[in-house]
Structure 1
Amino acid sequence: MGNSSKDADSANSGDGPSGDVPSSDSRVYSAGEKVLAYHGPRIYEAKVQKAEIRKNEWRYFVHYLGWNKNWDEWVGESRLMKHNDENVVKQRALDKKQGVDKNVKSGRSAQVKAKSSADAKVEKEDIKNIASKGKKRKIDSGVEKGSGNDEKLFKIQIPAPLKKQLVDDWDFVNQQDKLVKLPRSPTVDEILTKYLEYKSKKDSVEADSTGEILKGIRLYFDKALPMMLVYKKERKQCNEAVVDNVSPSTIYGAEHLLRLFVKLPELLSYVNIEEETLSRLQQKLLDFLRFLQKNQSTFFLSAYEGTKVSGGKGKGKDE
C-alpha cells in the first residue's frame, strides 16, 4: 500500500507496556519464504521480505508477486497462509467464486464481488435510472458498454492512505467480524456538505458545478449502497437501518462512501460522457478524495467497535 502503510505501521511499532513478547522460535513465516496472502476478498502469491515483533505479535512485510512494490505492506499472521497444494486449491476456489479473469489484472480492489446474471441485470437497470435523473448526460439505449474499454478511459486514482483504509475496512468486517456502528457521524451527507463549504471558500465560482457533482455522488451512493457497497456480513444491519425510505447517506459515513469510489468507474461506464468532460470529472473526484484523505482521522473510524456479526464464520480463511 505504498509508504503510507509502512509509515503508519512503523509509527505504531514497538512492544507495548504489557503482555508477553513472542519468542523468536514462535515465528510462523521466514524472510524469503513464498506465501499466500489475503488482500481484500482475494488471495495472492507473495514473498515475505522480513519479519519483526511489533506490538507483542509477529508482523510480516510482504511483497505481492507480479505487483508494484508500492503494494508492499506489513500484515499480521491471520492474513497469511503457507504456500502448499491445499492452500493453492483454496486460492483457486476463491478466485472462481469471485469470478476472477486470470488474464486480466483487476487491481487489488477491496470491493470486487462475483454477481449472478440476475443481480447484474437489475444493477444495470438501476444504474441507468440513476444516471437519467437530473442529469444532462445521455444514456446509451442500445447495447450496454463493456466495462473494459470504458475503464481505460476512466480511472480514479485513490490515494495510498485511502487504499490502506479500504483494506483495513475489509479486514474489520470480513476477518474480524465487526461492523461500523450506525448511524455514523459525520454522515455521508455531512461530509459532502463540508466539502462544498470548503470548495466555496476557495473558489465561489466553482461552487455550482461542485454542488452538482456532489448531488450525483449522493444519488449514486443511495442507490448503490444496498446492491454494491455492503458486504454479505453487513446485509442484515443494512436491512434494519435503511427502512421507511430513509436515505443511506443520512445513516452511513466515510467508510462506505470510500467504497463507492472503487465502483464508480464501473457505474459510469453505462453513461455517455465526452472525453473532455470525463477528464474534468476525474480531477474533481480526485480532489474530493484528497479532501477525505486530509480529514482521514476525523471522518474514518480507526477501529470498528460495533456489535459483532451474528452467525459469522470467523476468519476469512475459513470461508
Structure 2
Amino acid sequence: MDRLMKHTEENIQKQQALDKKAGVDKNTKSGRSAQTKPKGSADAKVDKEEAKNIVAKGKKRKADSGIEDNPATEKLIKIQIPPNLKKQLVDDWEFITQQNKLVKLPRSPSVDEILTKYLEYRSKKDGMMTDAVGEILNGLRSYFDKALPTILLYKKERQQYREAISDNVSPSSVYGAEHLLRLFVKLPELLGYVKIEEETLIRLQQKLLEFLKFMLNNQSSFFLASYDGTEGGGKGKDN
C-alpha cells in the first residue's frame, strides 16, 4: 500500500501540472461533466446521467478528468459504490453546482475521525488490529490530503478551501464524508497509473468496498442532510 501511495502521489502532482498547462478547471468536478444538463431535465434523467459519470463509463468523464490519453484507464480498478451513496454524490453535486451552497467547515466527523472510527470498528469486529487495514486507512488519508485541492473540489469551493486550509492544517482534519466519498470516484483513475498484481488488486478492492459499506451504514451520521448558503463563493454561513 505504501508503494501504491507513493506512485499515486506522484501522479496527482503530474495531473496538477497538466491541469495548469491546459488552463482548465474541469477535473475538479468529481468525475461529472461540465456540460451536464441543467436541472430543468427530469430527475430520473439527471440521476441516470450522474450515475454513469460516477462509475466512470462515459467519455465526458474521461475528458473532465484530463486523462483521456492515459492507456492505464482501460484497466481501471472497479469500485462499486452502493446506490444510496451514488445518490449522495448526485445530491452533493446539485447542492453546490445548482443551488450555490457549500459544505460548512469544519466538518464533524472529519475524514480523520471517520477513518479512526472505521479502525475501531474493524478492531472490534476482527478481534484484533490488522496492519493491512491500518495501511489502507493511512493511504486513504494521504490520498485525500493530496488529491483534494487538485481533483476533488468544484470550482465554487476553491475560495472556501483557501480560507479553511493553512500550511499547518491538513484537509482530512477539516473536511468530512462528502468530500471523502468523492475520492472513491477518483481512486480508479489514480490507481490506474500504477502496475498492481492481480491478487493485490483484488484484496485492495475488497477492503475499499468494506469501507464504503461502513460509510453507508453510518450515512445519516456521517453526511449532511443539507448544505449552507454561500456568500461570494466563500465559507458556508449558518442557516
Kept after mapping to 1: 8 A contact 2:111/2:173: yes
1:63-82 correspondence to structure 2 within 5 Å: 63=45
Query: Percent identity of the aligned residues?
Result: 59
CA distance in structure 2 between the aligned counterparts of 1:112 and 1:176, rounded to whole angstroms: 24
- AA of the residue aligned to 1:106: G
Residue 113 (structure 1) aligned to one of 51, 64, 67: 64
1:183-194 correspondence to structure 2 within 5 Å: 183-194=106-117
The 1:108/1:301 distance shift into structure 2, 3 A limit, reads farther
1:228-307 correspondence to structure 2 within 5 Å: 228-305=151-228, 307=229
CA offset at residue 240 of structure 1?
A: 1.1
- Greater share of helix residues, 1 or 2? 2
- AA of the residue aligned to 1:259: R
CA distance in structure 2 between the aligned counterparts of 1:202 and 1:107, rounded to whole angstroms: 41
CA distance in structure 2 between the aligned counterparts of 1:112 and 1:179, rounded to whole angstroms: 25
> Which runs of no fewer than 5 residues in structure 2 stay unpaired?
1-31, 235-239
Residue 43 (structure 1) aligned to one of 13, 25, 36: 36
- Greater share of strand residues, 1 or 2? 1
Are 2:224 and 1:310 equivalent residues in the alignment? no
Kept after mapping to 1: 8 A contact 2:33/2:64: no
**Secondary structure of the structure 2 residue equivalent to 1:301:** coil
TM-score of the superposition, structure 1-length normalised?
Answer: 0.55
Pair member with larger Rg: 1
Q: Higher relative CO (CA 8 A, sep ≥ 6), structure 1 or 2?
A: 2
CA distance in structure 2 between the aligned counterparts of 1:160 and 1:107, rounded to whole angstroms: 22
TM-score of the superposition, structure 2-length normalised?
Answer: 0.72
The 1:243/1:173 distance shift into structure 2, 3 A limit, reads same
The 1:167/1:61 distance shift into structure 2, 3 A limit, reads closer
Kept after mapping to 1: 8 A contact 2:159/2:233: no
CA distance in structure 2 between the aligned counterparts of 1:248 and 1:112, rounded to whole angstroms: 26
Q: How many residues align?
A: 196
> Which runs of no fewer than 5 residues in structure 1 stay unpaired?
1-38, 49-59, 73-103, 121-143, 313-319
CA distance in structure 2 between the aligned counterparts of 1:161 and 1:275, rounded to whole angstroms: 29
1:87-236 correspondence to structure 2 within 5 Å: 105-106=57-58, 113=64, 115=66, 146-151=71-76, 154-205=77-128, 207-236=130-159
CA distance in structure 2 between the aligned counterparts of 1:171 and 1:40, rounded to whole angstroms: 13
